[in-house]
Amino acid sequence: MFPLRRNRRLRSNESIRSLVRETIITPNDFLVPLFVVEGKNIKEEIPSMPNYFRLSLDLLEKEVKELWNLGLKSVLLFVKVPDKLKDNKGTEAVNVNGLMQRAIKTVKNAVPDMLVMTDVALDPYSSYGHDGIVENGQILNDETSAVLAQMSVSHALAGANFVAPSDMMDGRILEIREALEDEGLINTGIMSYSAKYASAFYGPFRDALDSAPVNIKNVPKDKKTYQMDPANRFEALRETEMDIDEGADIVMVKPGLCYLDIVREIKNEVEVPVAVYQVSGEYAMLKAAAEKGWLDHDAVMMEQIIAIKRAGADIIASYFAKDVVKLL
Ligand code: PBG
C-alpha cells in the first residue's frame, strides 16, 4: 500500500512551489503610512517603532520619491500637531494652511501620480486625545461628523485622492460624501475604517503622534464608546455594510493579524476592495522580538504579510511596506 495522494510532490522544490503558490506579494499591494512633523530637516525615530520616523516636509518629499522608485504608489498621511494648536473642536484640522494640507501639496508636487490618502479623525488635533469632540464625558457623534466632513473637503481641496475616516462616528461616511459632492469633489474617494476595533495595538502610533487620550476627570480614557469590541464579529459586518451603503469606495479592517477571521468574512460578503491595516503594535512586536534575536525579522514579516493577503486583503497598510518591497 502507498498513500493515495502524495501532497509533498507539490512541495518538493522551489520551482514547483512557486508554480502552485496561491498568494503573491507585489508593491501594488501596499499603502504606506507616513508621519509628518513641522520643521526642517527633521527625521525623528519613533521610540516604540524602531526604524520608523516622523518627517518634516522637506524630507517627506525625499521619502515619497524613494517610495515611488521602489514601486510604492500610495501613501496614507498622518500629522503630529503641536500642543498649542490642539483644542476640543478640531480648529486646526480644517486650517487650509495646516500641516496636513501642506503635506498633501508637498507629496503631490514631488510625485504627482502618488496616490494620497489622508487620515480623517480629530485625535491628533484634540487636546483630549479623542477622535471626536468631548462634552460631559461623551464623545459627540453628530457634531464630530460635521467637522470631519469639513476636514475631508479641506484635504480634497489640497489635492488628496482619498480621505480615510478612522474615527468610527456613526453616519460620517454619508456626511463626508455629501460634503464632497456639494463642493463638486466627485472624484475624491473614501476609504472607510469600517471595522476598527478598540485595540491595545495602537499604542506606538499614539506615541508617534502624541495623541493618546489624556488622563483628565470627565474624559474617557479609552475609545471603547466608538471603536469596536474585539469580541464582536457580526458588528464588523454591520459596520462595513453600512459604510458601503453610505458611499465608502474601500472598506478597512484594523488591526490586521488578530482580526484575519474578520477580514475573510468581510471579503466573502462585500464587493468593494478590502484594506487591512497592520498597525503600529504589530510592527513594534516583531521589531522587539527580532532585536532580542528571538524571531527572524524578514521571515516573520513576509509570513505576516502573506497571511494578511491570503485572508482577503486587497490593500495592505503596513509600516513594513518598504522593507518587504526591498526583499521581493
Ligand atoms: C486615529 C488613528 C489611529 C490609528 C490610525 N488612525 C489611532 C487610534 O485610533 O487611536 C492607529 C494606527 C496604528 O496603530 O498603526 N484615529
Average pLDDT by stretches of 10, the chain with 328 residues: 94 98 98 98 97 98 98 98 97 97 98 98 97 96 98 98 98 98 98 98 96 92 97 98 98 98 98 98 98 98 98 98 97
Active-site entry in 196, 287, 309, 322? 196
Concerning whether 108 is annotated as a catalytic residue, the answer is no
Q: Structural domains in the chain? A: 26-327 (3.20.20.70)
Instruction: Write the single-letter amino acid at 153.
Output: V
Predicted pLDDT at 200: 97
Among the options 86, 223, 254, 287, which is catalytic? Answer: 254
- Looking at residue 31, its pLDDT comes to 98
pLDDT at 11: 98
Residue whose Cα lies nearest atom 2 of ligand 1: it is: 166
192 CB within 6 A, ligand 1:
no
Predicted local confidence at residue 1, as pLDDT: 85
Find, among 194, 164, 163, the residue nearest to 263 by Cα: 194
Question: Which atom in ligand 1 lies closest to the alpha carbon of residue 124?
Answer: 1
Where is 285: in which H helix or E strand? helix 280-291
Q: What is the DSSP string of 148-162?
A: HHHHHHHHHHHT-SE
Atom of ligand 1 nearest to the CA of 201: 14
Helix, strand or coil, per DSSP, at residue 217:
coil
133 neighbors 122 (Cβ within 8 angstroms): yes
CA angle 109, 110, 115 (to 5 degrees): 80
- Supply the Cα-derived Rg of the chain in whole angstroms: 20
DSSP for 246-283 reads HT-SEEEEESSGGGHHHHHHHHHH-SS-EEEEE-HHHH
Could you give the CA distance from residue 145 to residue 306 in angstroms, rounded to a whole number?
35
Joined grid coordinates for residue 225: 464608546
| CA–CA dist 230, 249 (Å, integer) | 24
Non-local (6+) Cβ contacts of 88 within 8 A are 126, 127, 128, 133, 134
46: cell is 519613533
The sign of the dihedral angle between the CA atoms of 125, 126, 127, 129 is: negative
pLDDT of residue 208: 94
Which tens digits make up the pLDDT trace of 216-231? 888 999 999 999 999 9
183 is in an annotated binding site: no
Active-site residue flag, 326: no
pLDDT of residue 199: 98
Q: Which residues pair with 183 in a beta bridge?
A: none
* Residues 57-101 pLDDT 10s: 999 999 999 999 999 999 999 999 999 999 999 999 999 999 999
User: Full-prediction pTM beyond 0.90?
Assistant: yes
DSSP 25: -
Residue minimizing CA distance to atom 16 of ligand 1: 166
End-to-end CA distance of the chain: 42
Nearest CA to ligand 1 atom 14: 202
Compute, in angstroms, the gap from residue 205 CA to the centroid of ligand 1. Answer: 6
Top mutation candidate among 36, 202, 225, 280 for ligand 1, by most atoms within 8 Å of CB: 202
- pLDDT at res. 189: 98
Kindly state if the Cβ of 202 falls inside 6 Å of ligand 1.
yes
> Count of alpha carbons within 13 Å of 116, Cβ hemisphere only?
28
| Confidence (pLDDT) at 293 | 98
Do 250 and 190 meet the contact criterion of CB atoms below 8 Å apart?
yes
Task: Name the nearest CA neighbour of 63 among 105, 97, 23, 111.
Answer: 111
For a mutational test of ligand 1's pocket, the pick from 205, 206, 278, 280, i.e. the residue with the most ligand atoms closer than 8 A to its C-beta, is 205
48 in contact with ligand 1, CB cutoff 6 A: no
C-alpha span between 304 and 108 (Å, rounded): 31
Cis peptide before 255 (omega within 30 of 0): yes
Angle subtended by helix axes 234-246 and 260-269, to nearest 10 = 50
